[in-house]
Amino acid sequence: MNARFAASLANALTAVRVFIAVPLMLGCAAVGAREAFVWVLAVSFCTDAIDGPLARLSGTANRFGAKFDTWADVTAYAAIALAVTVLWPDLVREQWLAFGAIVASFVVPSVVGLAKFGSFTSYHTRLVKLAVVVTALALLVVLTGGPRWLLRVAAVVDVLAALEEIAISCLLDAPRSDVGGVVRVWRAKRGR
């Protein structure tokens, strides 16, 4: 696969989240289409899982792709939170603390990054990647009738990832993408 095609494909997958999945998720919420929402949500999570590794493996990862992915994440997570609230209000009421923690874990680090750097951060740490996988699996299982306690597990992982992102924002003097984790940032700052 040539590099130009891989970069285009990675960005196209990101664009699917922004321009197709987000409107479809909101449309599903508007018409009460729970099953269709779960399918669109699964596709959205799959494109999120594939776009970054495709860019990195092909050597085409760049700042634009990282920032575009972050904007796609922000819009997708906002749509997911809104749609889940509309489609499963009883679930949100029952699991309000976990749901609130999950939403806050995506919002608060973004606000901290905006306040400090004037833009969304795109750290893509290992812990954030784990948090996204755990949250995606928990949501898909819970929304299809699985155990609701999975949302609480996801919330714990998400809060830890958010705390790491906030710590990274505090350590950095300028925004950076794909930093690995807070320990790596801290060591780099200390000159190790």
Across the range 86-94, mean pLDDT stands at 98
Q: If pLDDT is split at 50, 70 and 90, which confidence band does 81 have?
A: very high
Looking at per-residue pLDDT, the higher value among 148 and 5 belongs to 148
7: pLDDT strictly greater than 80? no
178: pLDDT strictly greater than 90? no
Measure the CA angle with vertex 144, ends 140 and 148; round to 5°.
75
**pLDDT for the residue 137:** 98
Q: If pLDDT is split at 50, 70 and 90, which confidence band does 6 have?
A: low
| CB-based contacts of 123, cutoff 8 Å, min separation 6 | 165, 168, 176, 177, 178, 179
**Is residue 138 located within the same domain as residue 55?**
no
User: 44 and 76 in contact (C-beta within 8 Å)?
Assistant: yes
**Is residue 30 located within the same domain as residue 44?**
yes
Looking at per-residue pLDDT, the higher value among 24 and 188 belongs to 24
Segments forming the whole domain that contains residue 185: 89-192
Residue that is last in its domain, among 45, 67, 87:
87
Q: If pLDDT is split at 50, 70 and 90, which confidence band does 192 have?
A: low
Mean pLDDT (the chain, rounded): 94
The pair of structure tokens assigned to 140 is 């898909």
User: 151 and 142 in contact (C-beta within 8 Å)?
Assistant: yes
- Please state the pTM of the whole predicted model: 0.91
**Is residue 142 located within the same domain as residue 49?**
no
Lowest model confidence (mean pLDDT) among 35-39, 50-54, 102-106:
50-54
**Is residue 121 located within the same domain as residue 82?**
no
Total of domains in the chain: 2
**What is the separation of C-alpha 147 from the centre of its chain, rounded to a whole number of angstroms?**
22
Residue that is last in its domain, among 68, 87, 106:
87
